[in-house]
Homo-oligomer: A and B are copies of this chain.
Amino acid sequence: MILTVTLNTALDLTYRVRSLRPHGSHRVSEVSERPGGKGVNVARVLSALGHEVTVTGFAGGPTGRELHDALTAVPALTDALIPVSGPTRRTIAVVDEHTGDTTRFSEPGPPITPREWSAFQEVYEDLLASASAVALCGSLPPGVPVGAYAALIRAARSRAVPVLLDTGGEPLRRGIAARPDVVKPNADELAELTGSHEPLRATQDARRRGARAVVASLGTDGLLAATSEGRWRATAPARLHGDPGGAGDSAVAGLVSGLVERLPWADRLARATALAAASALSPVAGEFDRAAYERLRTRVTVTREADAA
């Protein structure tokens, strides 16, 4: 199975309103609730692609119970979230029916105690024994040490389980030094890590910091990859209108599934790009338009890139 780690899980709510007016009162015409947090979204896409997947991380409080309940509905998914005393956070995406725009609110994550963090690490070690790959995804809740991902990467590497890291800021900086197999920063995370706003240069720089491969997700500019086998840029055939909320998570699912299936890099990138583009057509992270995905996957352009000067 593929293991995804979501230390900052969430209950994701989507509200539809007629038109968002700051300082106004809005009747929500439609509410949907889904299990969330980046690694949970990745797991849902992996499940839809036909992979066995296990999710771990933390869940607590009434919102944590709702998260557990919602995960039972996902096929081929094993829920290995561990209990914590603080409540799982909510995120709210408010979709303006008039403009189609989405406004997002994210609650802070629950504080994690040292005992809870230790309990998680034990569960994680056990799960690694049967994992074909692990994806470490998203932000850290309060109380989890900033070097958490570095420790989890070292544990995976010591068991020869390939590991992908998708986070930002200091957790990315610390994590990348522990030599993950793949990191997938977005443009902002890449620039913050390297200090460079030139993606090709920044991707190579990030790779020199310890990752075996760096795949930067650049929104409508597609994916830019720096690997031991070379550099590629992958782009969808047209700029698709839509909301990019879950595109990065779907790209991660494409990369990690391609990794365990031992696809060549160009095919992994084509899959990840098509999934990301098809996800941008869905208003909900962790879901994608399957017809669009099937249509797009043969039409993604993957080109070799020369080294940056």
Contacts and interface: CB of A to CB of B under 8 A. Distances in A.
A241 interface: no
Closest 3 CB pairs between A and B? Answer: A23-B101, A25-B104, A28-B107
A102 interface: yes
Contacts of A29: 108
A20 B92 CA distance: 14
Interface in A7-30: 13, 15, 17, 20-29
A96 to B, nearest CB: 7
A23 B31 CA distance: 18
A17 B103 contact: no
A28 B103 contact: no
Oligomeric state, in number of copies?
2
Given A28-B108, A65-B62, A106-B27, A20 B17 contact: no
Contacts of A21: 103
Given A22-B96, A31-B107, 13 more contacts: A15-B107, A22-B22, A22-B101, A23-B101, A23-B102, A25-B106, A26-B103, A31-B108, A62-B62, A62-B65, A62-B66, A92-B92, A92-B105
Interface string A98-115: 010111111110000000
A106 B28 CA distance: 6
Interface in A39-88: 62-63, 65-66, 69
29 contacts: A13-B90, A15-B107, A17-B105, A21-B103, A22-B22, A22-B96, A22-B103, A23-B96, A23-B101, A23-B102, A23-B103, A24-B103, A25-B103, A25-B104, A25-B106, A26-B104, A26-B105, A26-B106, A27-B106, A28-B106, A28-B107, A29-B108, A31-B107, A62-B63, A62-B66, A62-B69, A92-B92, A92-B105, A94-B105
Q: State which size class the interface on A falls in.
A: 20 to 34
A221 to B, nearest CB: 20
Contacts of A26: 103-106
A63 to B, nearest CB: 8
Interface centre among A63, A103, A104, by most chain B C-beta atoms within 10 angstroms, is A103
Interface in A228-251: none
